[in-house]
Amino acid sequence: MKITGIETRVVNAEMRNWVFVKVLTDEPELHGWGEATLEWKTRAVVGAVEDLAPLIVGRDPRDIEQAVRVMRKQSFWRLGAIGMSAISGIEMALWDILGKHFGVPVWRLLGGKVRDKVGVYTHLGLGDMRAVYETMETDPLVERAHAVVEKGYRAFKAVFIPYTHYHAPLPNVDKVARLMEALRKAVGPEIEIMVDFHGRPASVAAALAYIDALAPSRPMFVEEPLPPGDTAGLKALAARTSVPLATGERLVERAEFVELLSAGAVSIIQPDICHCGGLSEAKKIASHAEAVGVGVAPHNPLGPIAGVAALHFAVSTPNHVIQEEMVGAVPWYFDVVKGPIRMVDGFWQVPEAPGLGIEVDEAACARHPFAPEVLHTQNAVMPDGTVVDW
């Protein structure tokens, strides 16, 4: 069997352009799909897929480890988030091909089943951009939390840490405490609440002020309390709080995760399968985490193929904790990709179809062509004009 071509399909979903990757083979009707979505870098990722394709066209798609090694080593330059996202989409598609070739679901090839269902969480508004990033007052926050719970979810994540520089003003800290207290009172102790800091605090002191404000309401974890790469800062935070810390969505190299894990800086790591190199690399990262007693909760606010890949990863990974999803990002989320995602009482069910178990409706994809993403990041400006982390 040989790879005969690699193509991309771009699907605009308002805040994101989903980048679907299709790997073709010389066997009739046998192809695979992956996803390489990277916000605000769509055309760069599509170009990277085109640049990488000649390295593996003509190779056997079943030799997944070798294909990834070729793309990384024979590219010469370190690939960064753009190149690693391109590799991730291609690699996912190779697993889809392998599963279809053997007639088994991908999770079976990743080591088999370690759980019977997968716990998931969503965002306020089920992923609607404005609900996720612009719910900063008590009444709409509580209303949207109730709506998520009524949909059957047993956990959700909220983003209500304000844009912050090196100092967390007391009124902001007090407001965060009130918002979290209102959420916990609204949904009770049975529902898990995660709070995404988005790396907004620029200092340990600022992050700690917000974490202390959240602590009485017992969040499941706080995500990205500091900008990515600040391992020393995370270690200092971990020493001063009992609230579990999570990070990793913007790390793309396994070595970055090894450094983080070696420092004992977090309780949960969050690799994004669409950015870290694909399913094989995510499994290796998870194994490193398991060895030091750290759980894995993969980042996944992306498109439907990414969601299905995360499902297969979760079914087969022992230290998987909970899975992020955003199936409400757009009303037509399930129209472009028919797949095995089915939630029952807050849990995704285990898929049984061969490969990833998806069918991509390319005509439906074409109805949502590329468009520049909403630059919501431009809102991250302090009152004095200082640009900060979104």
User: Residue 108 and residue 365: Cα distance in Å, rounded?
Assistant: 29
Provide mean pLDDT across the span 255-272.
97
Residue 369: DSSP 8-state: -
Residue 299 annotated to the active site: yes
Helix axes 42-56, 80-102, angle to 10 degrees: 60
Burial-class residue 17 by CB neighbours within 10 Å (0-12, 13-18, 19+).
buried
| pLDDT of 388 | 97
Task: Give 127's pLDDT tier (boundaries 50, 70, 90).
Answer: confident
Q: Tell me the pLDDT tens digit for each residue of 144-157.
A: 999 999 999 999 99
Total-model pTM? 0.96
Which residues of the chain form beta strands (DSSP E)? 3-13, 16-25, 31-35, 117-123, 155-158, 192-196, 221-223, 245-247, 268-269, 295-296, 323-324, 337-338, 343-344, 347-349, 359-360
Residue 275 annotated to the active site: no
Tracing tokens 């974890």 back to the chain, one arrives at 221
User: Residue 198 and residue 159: Cα distance in Å, rounded?
Assistant: 8
- Mean pLDDT across the chain: 97
Task: Give 125's pLDDT tier (boundaries 50, 70, 90).
Answer: confident
Cα-Cα end-to-end distance for the chain: 45
Quick check: 342 pLDDT over 90?
yes
The string of DSSP codes covering 123-160 is EGGGG-HHHHHS--SHHHHHHHHHHHHHTT-SEEEE--
User: Residue 347 and residue 345: Cα distance in Å, rounded?
Assistant: 6
Q: Tell me the pLDDT tens digit for each residue of 157-212.
A: 999 999 999 999 999 999 999 999 999 999 999 999 999 999 999 999 999 999 99
Q: Tell me the pLDDT tens digit for each residue of 53-69.
A: 999 999 999 999 999 99
| pLDDT of 142 | 96
Question: 202 is written with which tokens?
Answer: 């620029």
Tell me the three-class secondary structure of 99-113, residue by residue.
HHHHCCEHHHHCCCC
| pLDDT of 131 | 85
User: Residue 306 and residue 227: Cα distance in Å, rounded?
Assistant: 24
3-state class of 233 per DSSP? helix
The residue annotated as part of the active site, out of 31, 101, 123, 198, is 198
User: Residue 361 and residue 359: Cα distance in Å, rounded?
Assistant: 6
Q: Tell me the pLDDT tens digit for each residue of 69-102.
A: 999 999 999 999 999 999 999 999 999 999 999 9
Please give the helix or strand (H or E) that residue 231 lies within, else none: helix 231-238
Task: Say which amino acid occupies 310.
Answer: A
Provide mean pLDDT across the span 27-49.
97
User: Residue 49 and residue 71: Cα distance in Å, rounded?
Assistant: 10
Please give the helix or strand (H or E) that residue 285 lies within, else none: helix 279-291
| pLDDT of 128 | 81
At residue 239, φ and ψ (nearest 5 deg) are -75, -15
Quick check: 132 pLDDT over 90?
no
The residue annotated as part of the active site, out of 31, 101, 275, 299, is 299
Task: Give 323's pLDDT tier (boundaries 50, 70, 90).
Answer: very high
| pLDDT of 15 | 86
The torsion defined by the Cα of 51, 56, 58 and 60, in degrees rounded to 10, comes to -160
In order of their start, the domains of the chain are 3-104 (3.30.390.10), 108-356+372-376 (3.20.20.120)
Q: In b/e form, how buried is each residue of 219-238, taking b as 16+ CB within 10 angstroms?
A: bbbbbbbbbbebbebbbbbb
Quick check: 320 pLDDT over 90?
yes
| pLDDT of 10 | 98
CB hemisphere CA count around 280 (13 angstroms) = 20
Helix axes 279-291, 254-262, angle to 10 degrees: 10
